[in-house]
Amino acid sequence: MVREFTKVGIETEWGARLTVLREDASHYGDVLTSGVSWEHETRLLRRLTRAGAAVLDVGANYGYTASLFAHHVGRGGRVVSVEPEPVMAGLLERNMAANGHDNVDIVRAAAGSAPGRLELWRSATNLACHALNPGLVPAPVDSVTVPVTTLDDVCADHLTGRAPDLLKVDVEGWELEALKGARRVLEAARPDIWLEFWPDGLRVNGHRPVELLELLRAAGYDLTGHDLVTGEEVPAAGEAAIDYCDAASEALRAEGRTDLYGIVYLLARHPGRPGR
């Protein structure tokens, strides 16, 4: 049984008031003190989001990025936020309603390569860090069965008549499975893609990290990497992003930090996208 968590309020730089769980603060950067969760990611996502855009927010958590997207796409835009964990999905719904973000649709499901159901594992200490593999969850305490959908189906159901402009994916080492379920979207819409690239997490889920890079490149995407903490651009040619993350993980382990890993954000952009 997941224990009780403490709800606290924050105000973002765009004026939204969001409820978060105090115990999850370490997962959100400086959000409790500054209202900004991972400053460099926030800045880059803001640059990628234009008025009137359609955005898929996969791994929406309590709604920080959903609110960011909702604010910047405006009334003429649309955000579809995908979140499987019941407590987080409840916070997401609460935060969107409290801020009048009626341009956000919420899908209570995990994103995968095919529809179905899976066990989602939850932490006793940090509910934000839930995953489909208990090996990726700090102090796993229980699991809940959640529906699985594909991003192709999400687009068909929630973005009828329009194509996504931006796809953000942060699903704790499950990114490859999520992208496998978005092949039609990648081929037809060629959205910009912003995703967390965590080689250690991919390996725990039985994937080779290079498979994710190969999938994106085979779809025609160019990749750039950005350091999780500093936001600085990092090498992404070939397998350089994997090497960068592995070196960071090794350095952290040498320091005794077994709770941290080498992660970069990948920005994938298609040169053939209309208007580019």
How does pLDDT run across 114-165, given as a tens digit for each residue? 999 999 999 988 888 899 999 999 889 999 999 999 999 999 999 988 999 9
Give pTM, 2 decimals: 0.95
Non-local CB neighbours of 73 within 8 Å, separated by 6+ positions: 49, 50, 51, 52, 53, 54, 55, 79, 103
CATH for 7-269, options being 3.40.50.150, 3.40.50.1100, 1.10.10.10, 3.40.50.300: 3.40.50.150
Q: Which DSSP letter does residue 231 get?
A: -
| CA atoms of 24 and 8, how far apart (whole Å) | 11
Work out the average pLDDT over 12-32: 82
Going along 150-248, which residue ranges are E strands? 166-169, 192-197, 222-227, 233-234
Work out the average pLDDT over 77-94: 97
pLDDT at 26: 60
Please tell me which residue, 255 or 260, carries the higher pLDDT value.
255
Non-local CB neighbours of 43 within 8 Å, separated by 6+ positions: 231
* Helix, strand counts (H, E) of the chain: 10, 13
pLDDT at 126: 82
* pLDDT tops 70 at residue 2: no
Distances (CA, A) of 13 to 16, 92, 263: 8, 18, 25
